[in-house]
């Protein structure tokens, strides 16, 4: 488990980090908690020539309210998210997802910025950002820019980030009064989701708003839009079940050693029903 040779820099400011990345070429990579990149490096599946360790940029570690939004710094750890009073109060979906990531060790080292930038379709947080219509802010040599979560994830381990850009902040709208659930199906507690379903439900007389995210059902996190549309207006388990069945409209999900496409689709349908039920409870 010895990585290939690489250089290492630990900048003390964001601008220094960006200039190190842009001068480091295409194989320079930022690193924070290291919980996605280091395992790949140790297996020599990833061979960055320069690591720019942004772990010292402590002003990127925060969760704060900003009017009707919540702003999350890229270096907030999963554990920070799981315990954040602001999030628990106004956007409970994020802590609900964050507390199911990996194990306590992973949650104390891994960061939201790293997890999102890594764009692993099996990661837990990206689908939550999709259903929250999050905005992702990145800083590069040309200054900051904002990318919608729906545009950010472009394929397995591929994002809209340019090589010299650093993800700095994630902004999610407050969802006061919305119910939320994350149904993660895995074989061991610390595994990636075989399938994950993120639900954000607003209800009054029946379901009045619904956002359903899917983890590990495609090359990127997905929104189950047909399910969402069918959920709105439904008020009983049969209606929810009929809506959940529309998950098939996403097409054929991937197959791997844990699940065939058919089984994955079936799991998604079951988990959508469970997620909606929990979000409504």
Nearer to other proteins, 76 or 267 (CB): 267
Nearer to other proteins, 58 or 189 (CB): 189
- The strand pair at 158-159 and 153-155 is best described as antiparallel
Nearer to other proteins, 69 or 266 (CB): 266
In the complex, minimum distance from the CB of residue 166 to other proteins, in angstroms, rounded to a whole number: 27
In a 13 Å sphere around the CA of 111, the CA atoms on its Cβ side amount to 28
In the complex, minimum distance from the CB of residue 194 to other proteins, in angstroms, rounded to a whole number: 8
Nearer to other proteins, 2 or 204 (CB): 2
In the complex, minimum distance from the CB of residue 244 to other proteins, in angstroms, rounded to a whole number: 12
Dump strand ranges (E) for the chain: 7-9, 28-31, 50-53, 63-66, 69-73, 135-140, 143-148, 153-155, 158-159, 166-173, 179-185, 195-204, 206-215, 222-223
Q: For the chain, how many helices (H) and strands (E)?
A: 12, 14
In the complex, minimum distance from the CB of residue 2 to other proteins, in angstroms, rounded to a whole number: 5
Q: How does DSSP assign 32-45, residue by residue?
A: SS-TTHHHHHHTTS
Q: What angle do CA 277, 280, 281 make, to 5 degrees?
A: 85
Q: Which residues contact 12 (CB under 8 A, 6 or more apart)?
A: 56, 57
Nearer to other proteins, 5 or 58 (CB): 5
In the complex, minimum distance from the CB of residue 36 to other proteins, in angstroms, rounded to a whole number: 12
In the complex, minimum distance from the CB of residue 140 to other proteins, in angstroms, rounded to a whole number: 32
Nearer to other proteins, 43 or 85 (CB): 43
Residues that bind other proteins (CB under 8 A): 1-2, 4-5, 42-43, 103, 185, 187-191, 194, 257-260, 263, 266-267, 270
């Amino acid at each position: 488990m010895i990585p290939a040779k690489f250089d290492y820099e630990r900048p003390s400011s964001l601008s220094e980090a960006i200039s190190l990345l842009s001068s480091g070429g295409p194989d320079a990579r930022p690193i924070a908690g290291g919980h996605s990149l280091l395992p790949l490096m140790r297996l020599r599946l990833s061979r960055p020539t320069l690591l720019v360790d942004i772990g010292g940029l402590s002003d990127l570690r925060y969760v704060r309210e900003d009017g009707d939004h919540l702003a999350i710094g890229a270096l907030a750890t999963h554990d920070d998210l799981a315990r954040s009073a602001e999030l628990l109060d106004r956007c409970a979906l994020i802590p609900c997802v964050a507390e199911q990531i990996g194990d306590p060790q992973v949650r104390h080292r891994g960061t939201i910025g790293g997890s999102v930038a890594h764009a692993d379709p099996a990661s837990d947080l990206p689908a939550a950002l999709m259903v929250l219509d999050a905005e992702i802010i990145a800083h590069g040599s040309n200054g900051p820019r904002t990318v919608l979560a729906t545009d950010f994830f472009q394929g397995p381990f591929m994002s809209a980030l340019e090589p010299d850009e650093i993800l700095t902040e994630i902004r999610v709208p407050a969802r006061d009064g919305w119910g939320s659930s994350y149904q993660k199906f895995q074989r061991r507690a610390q595994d990636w989701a075989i399938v994950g379903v993120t639900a954000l439900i607003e209800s009054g007389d029946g379901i009045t708003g619904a956002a359903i995210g899917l983890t590990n059902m495609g090359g990127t996190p997905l929104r189950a839009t047909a399910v969402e549309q069918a959920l709105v207006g439904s008020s009983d388990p049969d209606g929810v079940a009929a809506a959940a069945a529309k998950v098939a409209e996403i097409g054929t999900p991937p197959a791997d050693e844990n699940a065939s496409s058919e089984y994955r689709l079936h799991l998604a349908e079951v988990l959508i029903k469970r997620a909606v039920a929990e979000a409504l409870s």
